[in-house]
Amino acid sequence: MTSRLDGPLKVTGQAKYGADNNFPGMAYGYVVLSTIAHGEIAAMDVTAANSAPGVIGVYSPFDPLELRRPSSPLFGETWVPLQDKEVTYYGQPIGFVVAETFEQARDAAMLIEVAYHQRPALTSLEDGLASAEDAPPVAREEPPSLEVLADGVESIEDALAASPVVVEATYTTATQNHAAMEPHSAVAVWDADGLTVYSGNQGANLQAAELAAALDVDPASVHSVNPFVGGAFGGKARTSAPAFLAAAAAKALDRPVKAALTREQVFSATAGRAATLQKILLGADTDGTLIALRHDSWCSTAADRSFVEPTSHGTSREWYATQNLAISQKMVPLNIPPTTFMRAPGEAPGSFALESAIDELAVRLNMDPIELRMRNNSTAPPGKDLQWSSKHLDECFRIGAERFGWANRSPQGHTDGDWLVGLGTATAMFPALRFPATVEVVLQADDTAVVSTSGADPGTGLLTVLSLVGAESLDISPEKITPRLGDSAFPPGGMSGGSTGTASAGTAIMIAAATAIDDLLALASSPGAPFDGMEVSYADGRVLAEGQSMTFGEVLRAVNRSSLSATGSSAPGEEMTKHSFSSFGAQFCEVRVHRWTREARVSRMLGVFDAGRIINDKAARSQIIGGMIWGVSAALHEGLEIEENGRLANGDFAGYLLPVNADIPDVGVHFVQYPDTLHNAVGARGLGEIGTVGMAAAVANAVYNATGIRVRNIPIVIEDLLD
């Protein structure tokens, strides 16, 4: 197994994250946050702050830093702090204090007095349902409401009415925060060449573009550096408030500025996962064949309506074969912090509802939950004629059932002393996507090669993948590859998100390597070169012809070249019109609920996944294990509690519950490997997010099996399990 190349640096503390950068004359910024959820800033008295020790700048909507709102095809318009006096959520950045030390900036910020024209605030999803709006096009630009009906069926209601068995239930999921170990931060430095920003993000070239637009400067003059990212999961896809503010303040003050959110500030001054309410109706025949599926979803969104959590489109649109399908997605604008992508956006909360409902249907039919799922296995998304490029979900369930001992499961669970023990399962799916990516491959005269792209490795192991795929494509050992990521000076690698990194960058590497080899062979056989006029070939890092061979480094030295470079670009293409693409998996979980205290503990987990070719088994298992733990966390721990006035009641690591080692048992992971070369030349599909999908439902289904109590909200708490 290949260990991650960045592992030793991280575990020994040598990895240098954004806020670890320091420069002579550097100042420190502290972000000031609002203390109301809705209204307008009437006045900000900064007199005391300006006079405080060490303070060199205080900025507010009344004396703002010069910034504009950037816009991009990927993200749309990005909100930039301090540009107006409107407040739309509690904890919104409204000021910025810069001082000689962090402590001086923080203490001075506490001296600012803010007066508001306060307006009524709406902070509860349930209270806001009456004001719900149709979501804009979601899930790959599909309309918010979609209906697919069998011939002769007038409506989904008619299809449900004609179904012998109907299950109807409503499910809710809580607001979550990414809770990355590295708080959002930035260090900004201006010099004669322009701006350099050191900040953890999911795409250096994307951050550079946003900053250039916000600062109204030439994009070529902005350099974004992020070799290490301390967790992202979607929460660092867009440029953070500290990065905008530090960049603008450093320009205004003509000195480097560092800005970092405190842990408590991260919870409100960054975006998180939306809360959802989902209503599902399943109509089936007595043999379990799905006749009708209706999935209506509501999600919270910030007042600017900038993001939708596509729960119905991310699950019911594609997961099961059904004769009749109706889905809808509505959003509820609230005075809450922004929502955004979080690991498996749409699929994670959507799968809790759908897979819980499927389990409820299995109970009504007195049918094994795995048999019901396999009976309704889809060969293509309902209403589409594009079949899955490769799907081995049935094999995932068969292998998982055997390994997990599913045959010993009782519909009523079993007891072990004072513990009620139950088993649960769920399907996992996540779309197999690719983003545009460009990679440079450089062959060097010392027989090594450099593989570079601006994308990020936010803990996914992409840096190591560059080395492995680069070595394979150049037919040399991985030790001879130097992979480089996280710098906007490298070719644009797009965003490391959506479980796309390996498929996107890997395909581009193969193209760049093939071009480099072609150029090398042309050089080797050119006039005056070692293989002048010969028919040449390439293998094992060597140029071959007529019984002679030279390494590529020897060829380069022979023609007085220090290197040879080539770039390769890849993007989704014609294949998207021929097939549907997804990764698949089967989640298994054993839960123990104490008979008297009603404490719930996960005691065993197993995930079996079909994600195409696995490039690095060790890193792949780590990604899946992390995702499965996220699922347990959503099921039993995580949930932001928003008070009526918009304040986060548990916006810190003391009150926002996350699992620790004692909460997580050994986790089993198994891959069924079928390379999907219809999706990309590497044959790999994404797996960074699918590990999360379905696990919360598997936990809830196991809780039902153990206790007979059906919990339709997560996180599940002790009060939910009281008889």
pLDDT digits 0-9 by tens, 579-620: 999 999 999 999 999 999 999 999 999 999 999 999 999 999
Q: What does 631-664 look like in DSSP terms, one character per residue?
A: HHHHHHT----B-TTS-BTT-STTTS----GGG-
Each residue's pLDDT tens digit, 618-639: 999 999 999 999 999 999 999 9
Q: What are phi and psi of 583, to 5 degrees?
A: -95, 155
Return the active site residues: 689
DSSP type of residue 63: B
Q: What are phi and psi of 48, to 5 degrees?
A: -65, -40
What mean pLDDT value characterizes the chain? 96
The pLDDT assigned to 459 comes to 87
Residues 6+ apart with CB under 8 A from 453: 437, 438, 439, 440, 466, 484, 485, 490, 491, 492, 493, 505, 508
Each residue's pLDDT tens digit, 444-488: 999 999 999 999 998 889 999 999 999 999 999 999 999 999 999
What count of other Cβ atoms lies within 10 Å of the Cβ of residue 723?
Answer: 6
CATH of domain 437-571: 3.30.365.10
Tell me: domain 365-433+573-723, CATH 3.30.360.10, correct? no
What count of other Cβ atoms lies within 10 Å of the Cβ of residue 599?
Answer: 13
Q: What are phi and psi of 203, to 5 degrees?
A: -175, 100
The pLDDT assigned to 227 comes to 83
Each residue's pLDDT tens digit, 93-136: 999 999 999 999 999 999 999 999 999 999 999 999 999 999 99
The pLDDT assigned to 670 comes to 98
Domain ranges of the chain: 365-433+573-723, 437-571
Q: Provide the H-helix boundaries in 484-572.
A: 501-524, 552-558
How many Å separate Cα 372 from the centre of its chain? 30
* Topology match between the domains 365-433+573-723 and 437-571: yes
pLDDT above 80 for 535: yes
The pLDDT assigned to 72 comes to 81
Distance CA 427, CA 587 (A): 6
Each residue's pLDDT tens digit, 28-72: 999 999 999 999 999 999 999 999 999 999 999 999 999 999 988
